[in-house]
Copies of this chain bind each other. A is one copy, B any other.
């Protein structure tokens, strides 16, 4: 969609579109830069950044070049400045994101409890579950509502991102409700393929696939 194919001779702005893998690495850079910042490191070279993260220096430079020119020849990148710039590019500076959770089982509870989200500005505003026993309970400071209210709550709370941690059987239904409520992105933890309009970004985290892939390679090497 929306192929950004403008002429590449304008040197001012980032020209090409960054791949999804590249965007994922941005998060890694931010993490490492945060670490370096607490250690009062002033400058870091692409080489050193790469070594720390298990990448190549060329890859680091290429990744960063998609978003602008941040470095200084002969010196490297100014840690604090690059950290700020990347945080902002990742949409994590000076703002928060509203998150709704569907499914407060073991996995859902783990997600609610994960401190990393809060720290990075992802705030759980809504949690729902199909189990009437759970409705009304307070989990990690969030009150669990009935799943029937999902669409309404998503709309009312201006939720940006929905997390699906319900059984496969109800995943698509819950997904539709999130979409109806106006979420713009979804992370799906259920082992099912979900249909969403192309305007909604969808990511899947599939634990079974991770293990099964490993089993494949283990089965190979005797």
List the interface of chain A (C-beta within 8 A of B). Answer: 2, 20, 23-24, 26-28, 30-31, 52-54, 89-92, 97, 99, 105-107, 109-114, 116-117, 120-122, 160-161, 184-185, 187, 191, 193, 201, 203, 205-221
A187 B211 Cβ-Cβ under 8 A = yes
| Known A-B contacts A107-B110, A161-B211, A203-B210; A91 and B185 likewise in contact (beta carbons under 8 Å) | no
Complex Cα gap A99–B105 (Å): 22
Specify the main secondary structure of chain A where it touches its partner. helix
Q: With A27-B209, A116-B191, A117-B211 given, can you name 7 additional A-B contacts, CB distance below 8 Å? A: A24-B209, A30-B212, A107-B107, A107-B110, A116-B207, A116-B208, A122-B211
- Taking CB atoms, residues of chain B closer than 8 Å to A216 are 23, 26, 89-91
Complex Cα gap A222–B126 (Å): 23
